[in-house]
């Protein structure tokens, strides 16, 4: 079933490296710059297009999967256009957030199938597992954003303004995933606390199980070689 969804090839190894580079640029460079006004939303959408294009052309070669990624990206782009035109009502923001979560989940699923599917374990496939790990932070940041739109009591000491909130929620999500915590932002609502706890559990189990398995398989292959 996995091979029907993702057609593996040596080019997929390169695709993992490209996706990881774009992803790290979004998380650790563009998001902080956007919070300070140093980056535009056009740059964010260009990087998201790079993620979609790389996933479709290199990693996911099945027509149905390519269509799913393309539709998810177009929906994200249209939702962002509504936001930029000034329709900043909570309903529009919630729709954009839901679509973004769907896009991230689609790409993460494809990357996960390719990384943990059948085939020779390479360094690039280990990078694919790292991509999936970071996508957990992106997806949960979207869920936290959605919770904040639904209730005003989701967080305490959250920055004001959509750009600062985007960076702040991503910072909070990464802190929960790595269990380092973020003293500046506090989860207040019980459901938001549960989400943060779930992300922390995933953050602890993922490197110790799935990522470690790939590393051990790769090490065993090198020993046999």
Res. 98: pLDDT tops 70: yes
Residue 62: count of CB within 10 angstroms of its CB: 15
Indicate the helix (H) or strand (E) that contains 155: strand 155-156
Supply 127's token pair. Answer: 């990078």
Lowest-confidence segment of 20-24, 103-107, 140-144, 221-225 by average pLDDT: 221-225
Instruction: Look at 36 and 40; give whichever has higher pLDDT.
Output: 36
Give one word for 44, left, alpha or beta, with left for phi > 0 and alpha for psi -120 to 50: alpha
Res. 39: pLDDT tops 60: yes
Residue 10 to residues 42, 109, 222, Cα–Cα distance (Å): 32, 19, 18
Res. 202: pLDDT tops 90: yes
Pair 215, 126: CB distance under 8 Å: yes
Model pLDDT, residue 60:
72
Res. 86: pLDDT tops 50: yes
Model pLDDT, residue 61:
67
Could you report the per-residue pLDDT of 173-192, keeping only the tens digit for each? 999 998 876 668 889 999 99
Res. 137: pLDDT tops 70: yes
Indicate the helix (H) or strand (E) that contains 31: helix 31-35
């Amino acid at each position: 079933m996995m091979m029907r969804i993702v057609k593996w090839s040596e080019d997929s190894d390169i695709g993992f490296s490209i996706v990881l580079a774009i992803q790290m640029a979004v998380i650790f460079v563009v998001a902080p710059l956007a919070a300070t006004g140093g980056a535009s939303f056009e740059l964010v959408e260009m990087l998201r297009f790079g993620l979609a294009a790389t996933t479709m052309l290199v990693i996911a070669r099945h027509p149905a999967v390519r269509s799913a990624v393309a539709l998810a990206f177009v929906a994200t782009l249209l939702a962002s256009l509504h936001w930029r035109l000034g329709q900043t009502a909570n309903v529009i923001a919630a729709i954009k957030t839901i679509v973004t979560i769907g896009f991230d989940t689609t790409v993460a699923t494809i990357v996960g199938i390719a990384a943990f599917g059948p085939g020779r374990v390479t360094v690039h496939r280990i990078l694919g597992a790292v991509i999936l790990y970071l996508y957990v932070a992106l997806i949960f940041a979207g869920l936290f954003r959605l919770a904040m739109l639904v209730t005003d009591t989701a967080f305490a000491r959250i920055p004001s303004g959509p750009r600062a909130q985007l960076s702040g929620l991503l910072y909070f999500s990464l802190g929960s995933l790595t269990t380092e915590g973020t003293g500046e932002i506090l989860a207040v609502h019980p459901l938001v606390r549960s989400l943060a706890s779930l992300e922390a559990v995933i953050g602890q189990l993922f490197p110790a199980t799935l990522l470690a398995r790939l590393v051990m398989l790769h090490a065993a292959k090198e020993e046999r070689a």
